[in-house]
Amino acid sequence: MLNEKLTLIGAGNMGEALLKGWLDKKLFAPEQITAVETCSTRREAIQHTYRIAAEANVLTAIPKAQIILLAVKPQIMGQVLETIAPVIDNSHLIISIAAGVKIATLQAKLFSHNRIIRVMPNTPALIQSGISAICGAHNLPADDLTTARRIFEAVGQVVEVEEKQMDAVTALSGSGPAYVFLIIEALADAGVSVGLARPLALQLAVQTILGSTKLLIEKNQHPAVLRDMVTSPGGTTIAGLQALEEGGLRAALLAAVQAACKRSRELGQ
């Protein structure tokens, strides 16, 4: 368990995923956490569900904690930073999960504060199966990065990257669950098109993705090796793979990641 207290600014889906992971793993006790949420209905739900303090006023919540986690949309980050800047001091470790918002931007708004860490988690954190990429400000104390790792290891894996890689991380793993959900939906639709009932088609698609992912992890082999294992000469799989290549699946996924990376960079401007 960490000894510090934490203020969570923004209790949306990702904020709640983190909150649930911390409490499930007993990284923090409920009395160590204060959530700041402007929506009264959401605030009351978080307070009731997790038995933590929940407030609407960010300025009264920040002095109660040593760790400030910013879980707000990048579009309102500037406004949030201007609001909290007067009450931030060197006792605070600032962690931001806002896509595209650079450490330099955070520092510019927070009077050159250097205890800043940028993180990109993803939505499988909701079931503690996420992956988060982290990077820290120049001259960040080593203990701060260790603290951040522990905070996000409560909801999955953590990798350290250079900040210049964060837009690419956002495009691949941050946005990636949406790509996978679309693929699953398309597979289920395809199953229906060849005669399967929709519930069965969806079950087959979901379990196929899940099982294939587990197999890839456990075998620790390149995906192409495992793909070849199921691709018999002149068989059904190679016919399907040919259709996917002709339909441009690989190119479409490349384009999706590149477009998301471009948008992440735009959000950081």
Q: Are residues 195 and 159 in the same domain?
A: no
Q: Are residues 63 and 91 in the same domain?
A: yes
**What pLDDT does 1 receive?**
86
Of 90-99, 184-193, 194-203, least confident by mean pLDDT is 90-99
**What pLDDT does 108 receive?**
92
Q: How many domains does the chain have?
A: 2
CATH number at residue 66: 3.40.50.720
pLDDT category of residue 268 using cuts at 50, 70 and 90:
confident
Q: How many CB atoms lie within 10 A of CB 254?
A: 11
Percent of the chain with pLDDT over 90: 90
**What pLDDT does 153 receive?**
96
Q: Are residues 29 and 149 in the same domain?
A: yes
User: Using CA atoms in the order 226, 231, 233, 238, what is the torsion angle rounded to 10 degrees?
Assistant: -130
Q: Are residues 198 and 112 in the same domain?
A: no
What would the pLDDT profile of 148-176 be if each residue is shown by its tens digit?
Answer: 999 999 999 999 999 999 999 999 999 99
What would the pLDDT profile of 1-22 be if each residue is shown by its tens digit?
Answer: 899 999 999 998 899 999 999 9
Domain-ending residue, one of 135, 163, 191: 163
Give the pLDDT mean for 117-145. Answer: 94
Q: Are residues 159 and 182 in the same domain?
A: no
Q: Are residues 30 and 98 in the same domain?
A: yes
What would the pLDDT profile of 215-236 be if each residue is shown by its tens digit?
Answer: 999 999 999 999 999 999 999 9
CATH number at residue 245: 1.10.3730.10
Give the pLDDT mean for 36-60. Answer: 93
Q: Are residues 48 and 93 in the same domain?
A: yes
pTM over 0.85: yes
Give the pLDDT mean for 103-114. Answer: 90
Would the pLDDT of 113 be above 90? no
Q: Are residues 46 and 112 in the same domain?
A: yes
Q: Are residues 240 and 108 in the same domain?
A: no
Would the pLDDT of 139 be above 90? no
Which residues constitute the domain of residue 240? 176-267
